[in-house]
Structure 1
Amino acid sequence: MMPPASVTAPPVAPAAAGFDPDRLGRAVALARFYGAEGLLVLRGGQIVASLGDPAWKANIRSIRKSILSALIGIAAEEGRIFLGATLEQLGIDDREGLSPAEKQATVYDLLTARSGIMHPAGYESDWMKAIKPPRHAHAPGTRWTYNNWDFNALGTIYERATGRSIPEAFATLLAARLGMEDFAPEDASHIFSEESQHPAYPIRLSARDLARFGQLWLQDGAWEGRQLVPAPWVRLSVQPISDAGQDGAYGYMWWVCRDGVHYPGAILPRDSFSARGWGGHLLLVVPSLDLVLVHRAQTEVEPYRTVDKFALGRILAATLGSIAA
């Protein structure tokens, strides 16, 4: 299994990679029909199919959280971050103040979106705001809620523990080592808000650079003979820790397939997992098929052309259905 040296190289023929060319062509056409800005399908680290410009950079939205998971895994291995540390021990608070009970949430609780802390957070979508229960309704560790407060506060914890900003850490520990072709330092930043003292950390990536990150996870954190992220962390991060309903399950800031459930309208291999961003940004990894898939949506300039999860389910079903028996 070799990492992709460059997706600008000639792609491998679908038939040579075990795909039915006609059915794969129909899957790509389906993605185009639903308004995809880009699509990359890799098998064995080689491009099998593509749509759009693989060098086009866009905000990866919440896929940023899976990238932070990688950085935290590296820091945990170095002994800089302890998953059992509480917010009280770490001196983490926020503008409205955290209660004594909330301060007992651990790094692990935040990493798995189980902190129970429903303090206002920056960079939240309307959907995230709608699903948040009332403040103080659930004790730490007792309920899963996809919550930007957890993810943003983790960024603060990471930066304090390591002395490195997330943009700097991503650029040096991942982007440079993976040979990302299109990433530039200004593509990662912080966004501050009035609601919370913990900023978001958006990142802009191209499809081919995002594919490299997916390939890294497929390869248990190894890249060209070097272990960039500890293999045990990679495996732990994609365990189905919390039931996420129709989306499957949730691990360490990764979405995880649960008994085939991951996207509506598609039955995925049980070992599938994904990183997802608002509007139709998707990085899907299927180790048993040696497959990485990247889907991009036009959410950079209004009018946006979003692709919902039902369309993505159809695209995934068609793509995986094109693999020859």
Structure 2
Amino acid sequence: MQRLLLLAIFISHLAFGQQEKSSSSDNYIYPDSSWQSETNVAKNGWNNESLNKLKLYIIDSTNATGVVVIQSGKILFDYGDTKETSYIASCRKSILSMLYGPFVESGEIDLSTTIERLHIEDVGGLLPEEKKATIKDLLTARSGVYHAASNEGDASAMAPKRGRVKPGEFWLYNNWDFNVAGYILEQRTGKTIYQLIDSMFAKPLKMQDWNINEQRKTGDSTRSKYLAYHIWFSTRDMARIGYLMLRNGKWKDEQIIPADWVKRTTSVVSPYRKAVEEGTAYYHFGYGYLWWIWDGPYNKGAYQNAYSATGAYGQFITVLPKLDLVIAFKTKYDYGRQTSTDLYLKFLDKLIAAREK
């Protein structure tokens, strides 16, 4: 009997220990009204001198206006005016992907729905084959619809002739897809993208610099009636968006984006090697659901399971789960500045090299 009692006590202690371990794994640091700064960078293996040199690299070799690097919920490194808001270009698309998550999970949006069923038409009309494209095809840039977009800044110059490619068959970075995906989200939810950002992200994440009145759509409606939903964020609020993704859609005790959706959208749908074969590749990235994915052979070491939002002129949000790291990098184009993707990737390499082996 005594042996049974001891066994029962042991099992209860074991269960308690496992429970404690499980709950402590969720005990992440989150910012409140402002980010905390890491005062001892060496604690997590970073070299302070190397980080200082990184700041000189930003000044000498890039045109960045704001940089925030978050390590495990605290600011590891920052540079420039991180509170200033500016246009984040195509990073808007990755944010749209995030907004879709709760509505897909609830069933309010069915990704297999065709644009024909949604009565999507455009200037000059769409082809019967194009109307078979689904919402999923739009979110993965595989619609096969090569109608002109209302705004420039995509790879439409590489597009096959309209009607030659079936929906889902070919990947092409195409603003028509992204703008229509934004329109559909607004139609299905009854709210603007900016209202959704305000309620789903800005308020629960306590974004410091978000201003809904600063947001506006642009585009040439004579080319396409679906305008681009441009977004103005600060660098430190871009970091909050990245940190939400790093934490699998959870912010403190609230699951804002379904974890399954975060995983799904940041997994490769269009592999890098296939894009190279088809002549549509962008650097060494594969593509998921509006996120650029570090794909083989580049998804090694610190870049394992990494993904980025990228935007013209030098706007980037990168998540490196392997290092528990988020990088928000801003180049304010209003100043006539821009930072190339080449330079940003060099910056990332130098950042990672600043970590002690």
User: For the superposition of Structure 1 and Structure 2, which TM-score range results when normalised by the shorter chain?
Assistant: over 0.9
**Residue equivalent to 2:356:** 324
Distance 1:294 1:205 in 2: 11
Q: How does 1:86-101 map to 2 (within 5 A)?
A: 86-101=114-129
Aligned equivalent of 2:199: 172
- Give the Cα separation in 1 of the matches to 2:297 and 2:126: 38
Q: Aligned-pair distance for 1:78?
A: 2.2
Mapping of 1:33-182 within 5 angstroms?
33=60, 34-125=62-153, 128-182=155-209
Give, in whole Å, the separation in 2 of the partners of 1:10 and 1:49.
Answer: 8
Q: With the length of structure 1 as denominator, give the TM-score of the two structures.
A: 0.94
- Within the candidate set 326, 329, 339, 1:295 is matched to 329
Q: Cα offset for 1:268?
A: 4.9
Q: Mark the structure with the bigger radius of gyration.
A: 2
Distance (whole Å) between structure 2 residues aligned to residue 19 and residue 320 of structure 1: 9
Distance 1:32 1:56 in 2: 18
Q: CA deviation at 1:16?
A: 2.6
1:2 equivalent in alignment to 2:29: yes
Q: 1:137 to 1:267 in 2, by over 3 A?
A: farther
Q: Does 1:255 align with 2:289?
A: no
Asked whether the 8 Å contact 1:114–1:145 carries over to 2, the reply is yes
Deviation at 1:288, TM superposition (A): 1.4
Tell me if the contact between 1:187 and 1:204 (Cα under 8 Å) persists in the aligned partners: yes
Paired residue type of 1:292: V
Structure 1 residue 123, shift from structure 2 partner: 2.1
The answer (yes or no) to whether the contact 1:3–1:212 under 8 Å persists in 2 is: no
- Give the corresponding residue for 1:284: 318
* SS at structure 2 position matched to 1:39: strand
Distance 2:190 2:264 in 1: 25
CA deviation after TM superposition for structure 1 residue 155, in Å: 0.9
Q: Report how far residue 233 of structure 1 moved.
A: 0.2
C-alpha displacement at 1:208, in angstroms?
Answer: 0.6
Partners of 1:247 and 1:7 in 2: how far apart?
Answer: 34
Contact 1:210-1:283 at 8 Å conserved across structures: yes
* SS of equivalent residue, structure 2 residue 333: coil
- Aligned identity (percent) is 34
Any idea what SS the aligned residue of 2:229 has?
A: coil
TM-superposed CA distance for 1:8, in Å, is 5.6
Classify 1:31/1:260 alpha carbon distance in 2 versus 1 (closer, same or farther; 3 Å).
farther
Give the aligned CA root-mean-square deviation in angstroms: 1.7
Moved over 6 A (4+): none
Segment of structure 1 superposing worse, 183-192 or 233-242: 183-192
How many pairs are equivalent? 319
> Is residue 313 of structure 1 aligned with residue 345 of structure 2?
yes
Q: Which runs of 5+ in 2 are unaligned?
A: 1-27, 273-280
Question: Conserved in 2, the CA contact under 8 Å of 1:187 and 1:205?
Answer: no
**1:95-131: CA deviations, max 9, x gaps?**
1211110000011100100001110102222x53433
Aligned-pair CA distance for 1:7? 4.7
Structure 2 match to 1:241: 269
Instruction: Check the 8 A contact 2:314/2:331 in 1, yes or no.
Output: yes
Residue 28 of structure 1: aligned partner: 55
Alignment of 1:200-219 (within 5 A): 200-219=228-247
In the alignment, residue 253 of structure 2 is paired with which amino acid? G
Any conservation in 2 of the 1:247–1:255 contact (CA below 8 Å)?
no
**The structure with more helix, counted as a fraction of residues:** 2
Mapping for residues 268-279 of structure 1, pairs under 5 Å: 268-279=302-313
Does the CA-based 8 Å contact 2:314-2:338 persist in structure 1? Answer: yes
For residue 31 of structure 1, report the CA deviation from its aligned partner. 1.7
1:260–1:268 contact (8 Å) kept in structure 2: no
The CA distance in 2 between the partners of 1:190 and 1:163, in whole Å, is 17
For the 8 Å contact 2:139–2:289, the answer to whether it is kept is yes
Cα separation, partners in 2 of 1:35 and 1:7, compared to 1, 3 Å: farther
Matched position secondary structure for 1:190: strand
Aligned partners of 1:190, 1:116: CA distance in 2, in Å?
Answer: 24
Aligned mates of 2:297, 2:355 — CA distance in 1: 17
- Once residues 6 and 131 of structure 1 are traced to their aligned partners in structure 2, the CA distance between those partners, rounded to angstroms, is 45
CA distance in 1, matches of 2:339, 2:162: 32
| Contact residue 67 and residue 330 of structure 2 kept, 8 A | yes
Q: Which 5+ residue runs of structure 1 have no aligned equivalent? A: none
Contact 2:248/2:262 (<8 A) preserved:
yes
